[in-house]
Amino acid sequence: MASITLDNVGKVYPGGTRAIGDVNIQIADGEFIVLVGPSGCGKSTLLRMVAGLETITDGEIRIGDKVVNKVEPADRDIAMVFQNYALYPHMSVRQNLAYGLKNRRTPKAEIDRRVNDAAEILQIGQFLDRKPRALSGGQRQRVAMGRAIVREPAAFLFDEPLSNLDAKLRVTMRLEIKELQKRLGTTSLYVTHDQLEAMTLADRLVVLNAGRIEQIGTPLEVYRKPASTFVAGFIGSPAMNLIDARAVPYLPGTAHAGTVGIRPEDLTVAADGPIEMQVQAVEELGAQRLVHGHTAGEAITITMPPTAPLSDTLRLTAAQDKLHLFDRQSGARIE
Amino acid sequence: MKRTIFSNQLLPWLLLAPQLAITFIFFLWPAGQAIWQSFLREDAFGIKTSFVGLANFRALVDSPEYMNSLQVTAVFAVSVTLLSMGVSLLMAVSVDRMLRSSRIYTTLLVWPYAVAPAVAGILWWFIFNPTIGVLPYALDLIGYDWNHIQNPNQAMGLVVIASAWKQISYNFLFFVAGLQAIPASLREAAAIDGAGPIRRFFDITFPLLSPTTFFLLVVNIVYAMFDTFGVIDATTEGGPAQATNIMVYKVYFDGFVGQNIGSSAAQSVVLMLLVIALTVVQFRWVEKKVEY
Amino acid sequence: MIENRPGLNILSHLVLILGVVVVGLPLWVAFVASTHTATDFMSGTIPLLPGPHLIENYSRMLDSGVSTSGTPPVARMMLNSLIMALAIALGKIAISILSAFAIVYFRFPLRGLAFWCIFVTLMLPVEVRIVPTFQVVAGLGLLNSYAGLSIPLIASATATFLFRQVFLTMPDELVEAARIDGAGPMKFFRDILLPLSRTNMAALFVILFIYGWNQYLWPLLITTDAQYYTIVAGIKRMADAVDGLPQWHLVMATAVMAMLPPVAVVIGMQKLFVKGLVETEK
């Protein structure tokens, strides 16, 4: 077990393109950190830099107290779970689990013990002598996790481990990963593009955009106080409404802001509400209803109970403490 | 391009060493020697060699024998290619119609691939043997006199048949694969549009098969030019009267039997240029694929 | 098949049967001839049905051969052919898989040049550099040796390209997982790459074995000692009988024996053979 520190970490490709810039993250021992962002934001690259699969051009990465910038992946005491699992197709599940230990010259009895423990935790005992191709997607996923567990590493690195599974299995495995991490208490760094997955798994979220950190915080902090318009639009579903402040001059306290953000669930229908919304489309989700429309040319979406009355025009209101204000130029939050 | 690589610098050279050593010693160095020797000429006693510039090449151009060899090679390569590809295509189209029996036909048609060109030559030499062969006997019955030992055209016919025979399996397998790659829906659509089997073949199948056909065209020409040495040497030895003296055979004969190193080297250089041209065609043109 | 046309099906079968017969004719004639005695050919044409001398002819060739032609017994020549074919096939696979590994999984200066050196061998078949290659091999003292028969032929661009292609299609994550699991390059090569390339190696082996067995010009050039004659090259020396007419029944018995191993390989391993043939042409 160990903490992981990223100190001004950056990466510039030989061609001069910057992939990652000025990343600072302190991960405490046992913490579950999720790197989240749209595809191409550099989150996988950052994870692979921690793993030692990509070179680091600036800054310093420490695992525990040890600077690992130039250390081989095998010597970093980390284990990784890949998106496509990367199980060795010609080896049985048992051999897959044991391979890393064997290369480290772990005694035979110790290997057997760890493999059996991992198999029990993950309930893959009956598959130990099968080849990966004889397993279902969910089972392969468990074997990939098992390969990480048997190593008893200082940290787990997960690279979108659930994105090859169907939606239902994804939810089950998500819960299992969370539970497993709690139980083992191993420091974990997890990459995903799915903000829901990020919210549910993370002790703390790191939101990345274009190779830079937009915000670090607990899921609720990030949700309640998004640090920028990017985070505001990325975290939460349906996404926060981001309205040009000039379209809603009547909202109190917004005079100095460029953009006003209001979450769909914070906009409520009220006969005397200041915002007038022209309804364009309605999506029935069963438990609630999404209503899309616009006000003064700005698109907005609200959620409402499925039984509430609908009309072509709705009057809406929002509590002042539910308004998020952002700077017009930088997009940064204004308190 | 791999995303992840190993960083060792010495190891890759150790891994490449055997291949590079053999390539250098047995390929690049002799090829360089051939080029160098093509500019030299030995005197009659093989004691003194002198640099003669392009004289060996000029001598080739002026040599009626070499010009004859070029012509023989062209006739031979074209005949082998057409005969072998034609027969193979016919077989492949027929097999493509078969469901259950295609495997057994395939087995019965692919084995000649494994026969050495020299052995193929011996077999056909025996079948066409003017005194005891089966085919001259049969031809004699219909009043045709076969004697490839004296008749240049018949000699050419013999080496063409022997060479084409061996290549049928190869062409057949690639044609079958090419035919199977054509979606059945296209032919079905054509059938619904009222095209009969023969029309369908010429309008749909053959055009869509053109990448395979073109690829095989190049491969067969290369085969006929370079891999048929054994056929010639085991049968006609270039005769009668130079009628089957293809370029590869002439290089060997002039170099080893005739001991004319300078001329043989110049011929080697010409052949190298030909192979390079054919390889470039194969890689450039085939890469792009003749397709619609 | 799109519509049911019995006529067309019968025609197809006829074409194929005719094809099979034409393709098989030389083999049949050779086999028949190899089961007769020399006197059976004196009547003018050869018989069309097998005779009773099969075992006699074949065992004679295997054991003693035809002394007048200066060739050793066929058993000896087949052994030589087998050694050459195995050395060429295994040698080519070994050096090609190593070079492909170096080219795909490492970045080093002059990598492009190394790649081109290998590529160039495609354009330099033995046939176009006969005399100088012979001189090199003679200079190295490799005439009349198994090394001389095989080593000059084991450089192969085709096999290297095949393995390169195989490696390129393997997922990157496999190397990454192996690196995290503590495997260095050679361990990765041995534990992951080699086992995963097994079927490709087998398919390639079939093709290369045939290639090696069927070599003609090269053994003809560098063997003058009958002890090193290979069967494919020896057969021609036998057909060029010194005392006039070749002994056709014995030559044909030899020809059948020369064909047997590679043909058996093609028919017995048809699937691998087709795979190898198609892959090496990519």
pLDDT at B269 over 70: yes
Q: What is the mean pLDDT of residues B263-275?
A: 89
A274 and A311 in a common domain: yes
Tens-place pLDDT, residues C187-208? 999 999 999 999 999 999 999 9
In contact, B249 and B272? CB cutoff 8 Å: no
Residue type, B292: Y
Task: Tell me which residue has tokens 């093989």.
Answer: B46
Check CB contact under 8 Å for A99 and C171.
no
Check CB contact under 8 Å for A73 and C183.
no
A56 and A186 in a common domain: yes
Contacts of B98 in chain C (CB under 8 A): 12-13, 16
Residue B217's pLDDT is 92
d(CA B233, CA B118): 7
DSSP labels for chain B?
--SS-B--SSHHHHHHHHHHHHHIIIIIHHHHHHHHHTTEEE-TTSS-EEE-TTHHHHHHHH-HHHHHHHHHHHHHHHHHHHHHHHHHHHHHHHHHH-SSTHHHHHHHHHGGGGS-HHHHHHHHHHHT-TTT-HHHHHHHHTT----TTT-HHHHHHHHHHHHHHHHHHHHHHHHHHHHHHS-HHHHHHHHHTT--HHHHIIIIIHHHTHHHHHHHHHHHHHHHHHTTHHHHHHTTTT-STTTT--HHHHHHIIIIIS--HHHHHHHHHHHHHHHHHHHHHHHHHHHH-S--
> What are A276's strand-pairing partners?
A315
Tens-place pLDDT, residues A192-216? 999 999 999 999 999 999 999 999 9
Name the CATH superfamily for B63-288.
MetI-like (1.10.3720.10)
SS3 label, residue A80: strand
Domain finish residue from A184, A201, A231: A231
- Return phi, psi of residue A212, to 5°: -125, 155
Q: Tell me the nearest-neighbour CA distance from C191 into chain A, angstroms.
A: 9
Check CB contact under 8 Å for A103 and C182.
yes
Task: Tell me which residue has tokens 């970093």.
Answer: A76
A279 and A152 in a common domain: no
A296 and A322 in a common domain: yes
Q: What is the mean pLDDT of residues A273-294?
A: 92
Per-residue confidence at C4, pLDDT binned at 50, 70, 90? low
Per-residue confidence at C17, pLDDT binned at 50, 70, 90? very high
**Cβ neighbour number for residue C247 with a 10 Å cutoff:** 20
From the CA atom positions of chain B, what is the Rg in Å? 24
Domain finish residue from A187, A206, A231: A231
The CATH class of C67-280 is: mainly alpha
pLDDT at B292 over 70: no
With the CA atoms of A63, A64, A69 and A70 taken in that order, what torsion angle do they form, in degrees rounded to the nearest 10? Answer: -110
pLDDT at B211 over 50: yes
A270 and A175 in a common domain: no
In contact, A133 and A89? CB cutoff 8 Å: yes
Across the B/C interface, how many CB contacts are shorter than 8 Å? 305
In contact, B234 and B118? CB cutoff 8 Å: yes
In contact, C224 and C29? CB cutoff 8 Å: no
The tokens of B135 are what? 């085919």
Residue B290's pLDDT is 42
Contacts of A87 in chain C (CB under 8 A): 177
Residue A154's pLDDT is 93
With the CA atoms of A135, A138, A143 and A146 taken in that order, what torsion angle do they form, in degrees rounded to the nearest 10? Answer: -160
In contact, B172 and C16? CB cutoff 8 Å: no
In contact, A27 and A202? CB cutoff 8 Å: no
Q: What is the mean pLDDT of residues C221-229?
A: 89
Across the A/C interface, how many CB contacts are shorter than 8 Å? 57
A293 and A275 in a common domain: yes
Its ipTM equals 0.89
A216 and A96 in a common domain: yes
Name which of C217, C231, C255 is nearest C73 in CA terms: C231
Q: What is the mean pLDDT of residues B23-28?
A: 91
Per-residue confidence at A250, pLDDT binned at 50, 70, 90? confident
d(CA C13, CA B97): 9
Per-residue confidence at B289, pLDDT binned at 50, 70, 90? very low
Check CB contact under 8 Å for B256 and C151.
no
Q: What is the mean pLDDT of residues C88-108?
A: 94
Residue B12's pLDDT is 94
Per-residue confidence at B263, pLDDT binned at 50, 70, 90? confident
d(CA B83, CA B90): 11
Tens-place pLDDT, residues B166-208? 999 999 999 999 998 888 888 888 888 877 888 888 888 899 8
Kind and range of the H or E run holding A77: none
Check CB contact under 8 Å for C176 and A88.
no
> What are B246's strand-pairing partners?
none
A78 and A226 in a common domain: yes
d(CA A196, CA A162): 12
pLDDT at C6 over 80: no
Residue A260's pLDDT is 93
Residue A216's pLDDT is 96
d(CA C22, CA C20): 6
Q: What is the mean pLDDT of residues C73-93?
A: 94
A133 and A9 in a common domain: yes
Domain finish residue from A198, A231, A264: A231
Whether the upstream peptide bond of residue B240 has omega within 30° of 0, thus cis, is: yes
Mean pLDDT of chain C: 87
Residue C56's pLDDT is 80
d(CA B258, CA B265): 12
Tens-place pLDDT, residues B66-115? 999 999 999 999 999 999 999 999 999 999 888 788 889 999 999 999 99
Q: Which residues of C129-153 are buried (b: 16+ CB within 10 A; e: fewer)?
A: bbbbbbebbeeeebbebeebbbbbb
Pairing status of strand A155-159 against strand A187-192: parallel
Residue C73's pLDDT is 87
In contact, A320 and A274? CB cutoff 8 Å: no
With the CA atoms of C158, C160, C161 and C164 taken in that order, what torsion angle do they form, in degrees rounded to the nearest 10? Answer: 160
Contacts of A9 (CB under 8 A, 6+ apart): A20, A22, A23, A24, A46, A49, A56, A58, A59, A60, A61
3-state SS, one letter per residue, for A276-320? EEEEEEEEECCCCEEEEEEECCEEEEEEECCCCCCCCEEEEECCH
Residue C9's pLDDT is 83
CATH classification of the domain holding A8: 3.40.50.300
Task: Tell me which residue has tokens 């017995």.
Answer: C268
Residue A51's pLDDT is 93
Q: Which residues of A226-246 are buried (b: 16+ CB within 10 A; e: fewer)?
A: bbbbbbbebbbeeebbbbebe
Q: What is the mean pLDDT of residues C117-138?
A: 85
Nearest chain A Cα to C182, which residue?
A74
**Cβ neighbour number for residue C58 with a 10 Å cutoff:** 18
Residue B203's pLDDT is 86
Nearest chain C Cα to A89, which residue?
C196
Contacts of B15 in chain C (CB under 8 A): 98-99, 101-102
Q: Tell me the nearest-neighbour CA distance from B42 into chain C, angstroms.
A: 14
Tens-place pLDDT, residues C50-77? 878 778 888 888 877 776 667 788 889 9
In contact, B162 and C25? CB cutoff 8 Å: no
pLDDT at A302 over 50: yes
pLDDT at B15 over 70: yes
Whether the upstream peptide bond of residue A238 has omega within 30° of 0, thus cis, is: yes
Count of all residues that appear for chain A in the document: 335
Residue B133's pLDDT is 81
pLDDT at B215 over 70: yes
pLDDT at A87 over 90: yes
A261 and A164 in a common domain: no
A322 and A220 in a common domain: no
In contact, B161 and B117? CB cutoff 8 Å: no
Per-residue confidence at C278, pLDDT binned at 50, 70, 90? confident
pLDDT at A277 over 60: yes
Q: What is the mean pLDDT of residues B113-122?
A: 93
Residue B57 sits at the vertex; the CA angle it makes with B52 and B58, to the nearest 5 degrees, is 85
Contacts of B182 in chain C (CB under 8 A): none
The tokens of C128 are what? 């176009």
Contacts of C218 (CB under 8 A, 6+ apart): C126, C149, C152, C153
The residue range of the domain holding A214 is 4-231
Q: Which residues of B261-280 are buried (b: 16+ CB within 10 A; e: fewer)?
A: bbbbbbbbbbbbebbeebbe
A111 and A55 in a common domain: yes
d(CA B162, CA B148): 13
d(CA C12, CA C5): 11
Nearest chain C Cα to A157, which residue?
C180
The tokens of A244 are what? 């040009």
Name which of C209, C193, C115 is nearest C161 in CA terms: C115
Contacts of B115 in chain C (CB under 8 A): 214, 259, 262-263
In contact, A104 and A112? CB cutoff 8 Å: no
Residue B291's pLDDT is 42
**Cβ neighbour number for residue C3 with a 10 Å cutoff:** 9
- Return phi, psi of residue B166, to 5°: -65, -30
Q: Tell me the nearest-neighbour CA distance from A136 into chain C, angstroms.
A: 19
Q: Tell me the nearest-neighbour CA distance from A6 into chain C, angstroms.
A: 20
Is any Cβ of chain C less than 8 angstroms from the Cβ of A88?
Answer: yes
Contacts of C238 (CB under 8 A, 6+ apart): C65, C66, C69, C71, C246, C250, C251, C254
d(CA C226, CA C231): 11
**Cβ neighbour number for residue B77 with a 10 Å cutoff:** 22
d(CA C280, CA C158): 6
CATH classification of the domain holding A324: 2.40.50.140
Check CB contact under 8 Å for C127 and B248.
yes
Nearest chain A Cα to C181, which residue?
A100
d(CA C10, CA C264): 30
In A, residues 118-177, which contact C (CB 8 Å cutoff)? 147
pLDDT at A241 over 50: yes
Q: Tell me the nearest-neighbour CA distance from B227 into chain C, angstroms.
A: 8
In contact, B64 and B70? CB cutoff 8 Å: no
Least confidently predicted of B31-40, C15-24, C49-58: C49-58
Check CB contact under 8 Å for B272 and C114.
no
Q: Per the structure, how many domains does chain A have?
A: 2
